[in-house]
C-alpha cells in the first residue's frame, strides 16, 4: 500500500489500465472464437497435407488446439456458454473429462466444417479446370457450380 501512496494519479491510472488490458487478454484466450481462429489458422498452414490425406489426421490438429491444463480447460468452458448445453459424446467419467469432451467435440466440428469447405473448393477447381481444358467458359461454369453447391 505504501507503494501506491507514492504514485501520482496518472501512474495509478496507467497501472490500472494495464491490469485491465491483461485481464481482457486473459479472457480472450479462453473464448472459443479465439481458439477456433487459431485452429483454422493451423489448418490453413497445413492445408495441402491435410487435403492430400483426406483429413485423416485432422483430429491431431484439434488435439493440439486443446490446452492440457485443467485450469485452462475449465476457464474455456466457463467463458463459453454455448458449451454448457452440449453433452459429452466421448464418455467422460469425471467433470473434467466431460468438459474436455465437449470442447473437443465443438472444435472437431469446426475442423470438419473447414475440411468439408476446402474439399468442395478443390472439387470445384478440378471441375472448372477440366471443363476449361475442353473449351468451356470459366465464368459460366463457376456460376453453375455455385448454384449446384448451394
Quote the percentage of the chain above a pLDDT of 90: 47
Cβ atoms within 10 A of the Cβ of 32, count?
19
pLDDT of residue 90: 83
Q: Which residue has the cell 477447381?
A: 125
How is the chain split into domains, by residue range? 1-30, 32-149
- Do 117 and 69 touch, CB atoms closer than 8 A? no
pTM over 0.75? The answer is no
**What number is the average pLDDT over the span 8-15?**
69
Residue with more model confidence, 128 or 62: 62
SS3 content of the chain, % helix, strand, coil (to 5): 75, 0, 25
The pLDDT-based confidence of 39 (bands split at 50, 70, 90) is: very high
Based on its alpha-carbon atoms, the radius of gyration of the chain, rounded to whole angstroms, reads: 23
**pLDDT tens digits along 54-99:** 888 999 999 999 999 999 999 999 989 989 998 888 888 899 999 9
Q: Cell numbers of 12, please?
A: 495509478
Q: Confidence class of residue 127 from pLDDT cuts 50, 70 and 90?
A: confident
* Cβ atoms 145, 127 nearer than 8 A: yes
Amino acid at each position: 500500500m505504501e507503494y501506491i501512496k507514492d504514485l501520482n494519479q496518472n501512474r495509478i491510472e496507467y497501472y490500472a489500465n494495464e491490469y485491465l488490458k491483461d485481464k481482457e487478454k486473459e479472457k480472450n484466450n479462453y473464448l472459443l472464437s479465439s481458439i477456433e481462429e487459431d485452429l483454422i489458422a493451423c489448418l490453413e498452414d497445413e492445408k495441402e497435407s491435410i487435403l492430400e490425406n483426406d483429413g485423416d489426421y485432422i483430429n491431431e490438429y484439434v488435439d493440439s488446439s486443446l490446452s492440457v491444463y485443467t485450469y485452462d480447460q475449465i476457464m474455456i468452458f466457463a467463458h463459453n456458454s454455448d458449451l454448457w448445453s452440449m453433452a459429452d459424446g466421448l464418455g467422460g467419467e469425471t467433470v473434467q473429462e466431460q468438459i474436455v469432451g465437449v470442447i473437443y467435440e465443438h472444435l472437431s466440428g469446426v475442423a470438419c466444417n473447414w475440411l468439408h469447405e476446402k474439399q468442395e473448393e478443390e472439387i470445384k477447381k478440378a471441375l472448372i479446370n477440366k471443363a476449361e481444358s475442353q473449351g468451356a467458359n470459366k465464368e459460366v461454369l463457376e456460376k453453375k457450380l455455385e448454384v449446384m453447391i448451394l
